[in-house]
Amino acid sequence: MSESEALISPTRLDAADPYAPGAAGSRVIRGGSLRVAATLAGVLAGALSAPLVVRHLGVVDYGRYLTVASVIFVVTALSEGGLANVAVRAFSVGSAAQRRTLIANLTGLRLALGAAGTIGALGFGLLAGYDHVLIIGLALGAAGYVAAAVQGSYSVALSGTLRLRQLAAIDLLRSLLTTIFLIALVLAGSPLTGFFTVAVVVQGLALTVTARLVRREVPLRPAFEWARWRALLGETAIYAVASALGAAYFQIALISMSLLDPGRQTGYYAISFRIVEIINGVPWLLAASVLPVFAVAASDAQRFRYIAARAFEGAVIAGGWFAIIVVLGAKFAIEVIAGAKGAPAASVLQIMGIGVTATFLVSALGFALLAQRMHRALLIANAAVLALALTLSLTLIPALHARGGAATTAALELSLASAYVVILWRQGVAPPAPFILRFLPALAIALALGALALSVHPVLAVAVASAVYFLLLRGSGAIPQELIDALPWRR
């Protein structure tokens, strides 16, 4: 029996065990695909609201709107510290009693950290000299963050049992509700302050739905057992710092733009950043779907190497396609969202698109390192990239303005992906060289042919490049057979 058959297609599948070889791969691919589909549906729904919000608020106020979102994101990363990912790893291999204790104490710990994060966000806003509108935005954003933190604790029960369809439904619900509320605020002529309330309402509803789904399996009431908190924090201490640094570096450029080059340039960057930020939700959803399987396979070196290789290939293929979409479709996307006034943001978005493939790789390999408990390696890599983020921001933004911020963002993603590849390579998990030699020409040819079609229309360019890209990958055998077999029409 081949390695592929032994690890992915055993002669008997245990239907009661979601992590059984074969069953796990099928659940992850199909469930992950549903989460991506839900995300894309949410993006399409967001495409209805984004142009209305940008034009309603204007470039400057939209930049202020996303500045608040970035501060909340950083505070979330610093206080959350990767707890959810470590919790999924522990939940996946724990007993029923251990799982219940874990969720109760995770919820209590997150409430405590949420209170600290709220104080931190407001303190930063005051020190930075933000006006009263942004301070109100930070307060409302912090409230939404606390609701999301509790919802994330309950979601561990869904992720840890590979109930990805239910997670996909919650993702879609969150996106649709956000779009509905944003459009309603635009139609009502709401000022900027009103838009900060959306996250609170949406996260509260998502929390309610998730609680109903898991209420019979895990306790909804938080537990405040310091001994268990200390054990959980001790388990996550190094990874928490690494995760916080890894989340913060991506937001550094936008926050730096708001301080170094406020006004219109920050607005151009913010519009492009928002598009890339939405797209970046896809790789993290896919990688989170694979994390429980990584965790279970961590003790089996052969199976782990196999899964890591397939995850590498899947991440690069998906990342290459999204890079094609962003680079070739940038001008059209900016025209739809911001109109003629946002035209300078198109080149900013194209620069950011260069790093999209690396983001897919960072998410997949980052969870592979987590499953192997390589927390210290993650910490060193993420800290180095954060230092690079500060250096590049201070150097490029004053000189190149919004394009400098975009170049910073792309360079950071490429640097971190390279660091993760090297770390795993040293552990004996080498990137599949034959796949890379097939992937790179396919991407280059697709981009070249798509660029020729740009003179007709960006949508045509994306369609041509996408078709060429996948035909070349399929023809060269670069697409993993497991991915092909998991397609709905192949079932």
pLDDT tens string 440-460: 999 999 999 999 998 899 999
> Is the predicted pLDDT of residue 220 greater than 60, yes or no?
yes
Check whether 320 has a pLDDT greater than 90: yes
In the numeric block, which tokens belong to residue 359?
């983001």
DSSP string spanning 148-214? HHHHHHHHHHHHTTT-HHHHHHHHHHHHHHHHHHHHHHHHTT--HHHHTTHHHHHHHHHHHHHHHHH
Res. 193: pLDDT tops 80: yes
Return the pLDDT at 2.
35
Q: Give the model's pLDDT for residue 19.
A: 53
Question: pLDDT class for 4, splitting at 50, 70, 90?
Answer: very low
pLDDT above 50 for 30: yes
Query: What pLDDT is attached to residue 28?
Result: 61
- pTM strictly above 0.85: no
pLDDT digits (tens, 9 = 90+) for 328-348: 999 888 888 777 777 788 888
Q: Is the pLDDT of residue 352 over 80?
A: yes
Q: Say what the pLDDT of residue 13 is.
A: 34
Instruction: Tell me what the pLDDT averaged over the chain comes to.
Output: 82
Q: Output phi, psi for 172, to 5 deg.
A: -65, -40
What is the arithmetic mean of pLDDT over 394-413? 88
In percent, how much of the chain has pLDDT > 90?
21
| Least confident among 39-48, 297-306, 401-410 | 39-48
Average pLDDT of the residues in 420-442 = 89
Grade residue 368 by pLDDT with cuts at 50, 70 and 90.
confident
What pLDDT is stored for residue 250 in this prediction?
66
pLDDT value at residue 60: 82
Q: Is the pLDDT reported for residue 246 higher than 70?
A: no
Per-residue pLDDT at 11 exceeds 50: no
What pLDDT does 301 receive?
Answer: 80
Highest mean pLDDT of the ranges 40-54, 194-208, 383-397: 194-208
What are the pLDDT digits (tens) for 252-305?
777 777 777 777 888 888 888 878 887 877 787 777 777 777 777 777 788 888
Task: Examine the pLDDT at 9 and tell me if it is beyond 50.
Answer: no
- Of the two residues 2 and 46, the one the predictor is more confident about is 46
Tell me which of 129 and 438 has the higher pLDDT: 438
Residue 8 confidence class, pLDDT cut points 50, 70, 90? very low
In this predicted structure, the answer to whether residue 471 has a pLDDT above a threshold of 80 is yes
What is the pLDDT, as a whole number, of residue 390?
Answer: 86
The predicted model gives 451-473 an average pLDDT of 93
Rg (CA), the chain: 22
- Per DSSP, the chain holds a count of helices (H) and strands (E) of 18, 0
CA distance 109 to 79: 10
In the structure, what pLDDT confidence band is assigned to residue 24 with cuts at 50, 70 and 90? Answer: low
- Give the pLDDT score at 99: 86
